[in-house]
Chains A and B, each alone.
Chain A
């Protein structure tokens, strides 16, 4: 966990007081909505279809149990008893009253949580691999760097009024669990031949109306230079970024229009001006941040304890363990993913009672720490392997042990037309129907890793472009229709999926997805060939034929 200092706390507390005053002036009519809107957005408050929505940041997805309990408290006291974990390591509350928001923010501030950087044309909440600090395959903890970036960019005047929102994501492993290629700046922590750590820097990725995969702008930037280098990128963006046309304002468009070489040359030139300046990090500063990440005192424990051996005979436990338990850098420990994708449930939602119970389990089994990933699931990052059977039983009772992590029913979905004022079509009921269709674990397991991502409109909050199967809601004559793409992915080999044919009506989406999956099962060369790999090998045509032949 990261230990915030007093400067952070003062900042957070001051912001609450400021917002309380702003809300009060809005409710008394002293501020018009036009004046107030940018102020509420700076505090994560949107207006959705039915109510105000409140988006709270979970920087790099790390939470303490005390913080998690406070989120449950906000859900219970000010909202309708649940929260929604999003694809950007945020949590959203859907039904909060404007009058209650200052109190909610004040309650969250008690545990160092806030809503800054969750909205507006600023550098948004910096996201990172949710397994940061515990993954066995990482170079080093990416959250240290996410925190350095967070501190530098938060409320930075130059980065608070950018042409558009700006998103960073960081990974420290070859296997990208942070979807860095679909972010404005993606950073991959690597070690060079001299043993120095630094970053491969990617720029210009993003989803939305025009999806782009980020391009590598520099193969290696030393850790100490990362702030100055990022500053150079943002300066070029600030200078050339289109402010006249909201659809062209993202950095991905600038990179695309200038070309990566020209863009890189501009950045290189801008960097000359700031490199070796005050933005250069010294080792002491890096060490100071690093030292604030406190790791548990792990014990030396066996990787295969008796408890685990004994539970291996339980088929339900084994089904869960196979998909939900990942290796930890300490052999006697594991990373446990909690599925927020129960059969028939809205992806990413958790009730206040569940959240509280998860906080208790984190205290009991994971040194009081919880992680939030972009797939809208949670994780307990430090579970002793001997505790896995007991933990599983508790998670199962809570309804967060559906054995579907990374399987076809582990769906990413945006709120869609059930909540969102920008939506064209619903997302959640489609996800729910799909989880019912694929409720049989044996079948899902046979299908293997398959990510279905759903967005209710072109803004792509549900990452549909990079779903192995992507579903995008569109509107035709006041009816809900869905475009379906296949072959997208959000990992180290990220790509945008290909459309398989005309949009289909609401009632047919689940059938089409079933058809696609059946086609895959028939077309794959061997059971180990994943869905995306089959699509890569044979293209979309064979799928198109099977899906549309009968329609």
Chain B
């Protein structure tokens, strides 16, 4: 395998996101968005909050707000000319009601959302968007909360975005997750609330692919939202926790265009999951140069070398966290010296969540490509390793279905 071939694999069409769809496309999209925002402005806001007033109260000026809008425009992979539209969309976000339900999970996505980033996006979330129902955030609780959910579903029939956090346990008739006094199962609950939603957004790896509860032997029969809800637009925002920037991005996109964003074959928004972590990793240059952390705390670790040999799954993981990062963009796992565990990929809990070098994990790419150990074969094989990774990644992008990873007998 030569470098040319390698480059070919990494830049294969399937591994790419089309960030420039041509002037004609963007002009027509611009007009559509403008019309949509005009329509939204005519609607009565669900709550009477003026974003600019709230921001000013908090000491945030227009300039800072536009900076955020510009960053968000880039996140959504739109040309810079869309920035004023994104800002306008944020201002009319309170015309789109959001219902958030929590099923079988650890509440990590709600927690991440509570601390979402951007200038005052916390305010946007708490005040501006019309979060009509959220068990953890809202004031009502118990029976009162149930009534509130009914009201929101009725009042905003066919208009609300339903955010679902958590998996759906199906084993033993759904006994492992029930809700409310009636003992409604999570499956019934999801069916009921999703019925009149405009679109369903599955947040976090539990809601998208079943998550840790679905890890072998999947004692509760956990599945994701797309296995239950049919005949509705579904957006998957996997990762554990999902990045709040991507949640806000989906809402903004919906407000802006009236549609869900362009999705890949795993129903993930392309703006967020269009490329691998590895493609934009700050340590990528070290991978290319063959410089690896051999053991945590060694000289390589001190010099921020590539973490592939201590178990990083970045080359197999599609997500934008190498760009967006976490917690106000302060850091991300790789920044703190720990490899990616591939938490936004289907079955990560059984395939990738190995806390040791990949070489010891008996994970094989569909082509059988991931090497045994880099050391055993020397730098020549490093290229082969990368090729294996490239094939694997390209495969997952093309096929877009659950990747068949062989796990050796007795490994589980």
Does chain A bind chain B? no
Q: What residues of chain B have their CB less than 8 Å away from a CB belonging to chain A?
A: none
Q: What residues of chain A have their CB less than 8 Å away from a CB belonging to chain B?
A: none
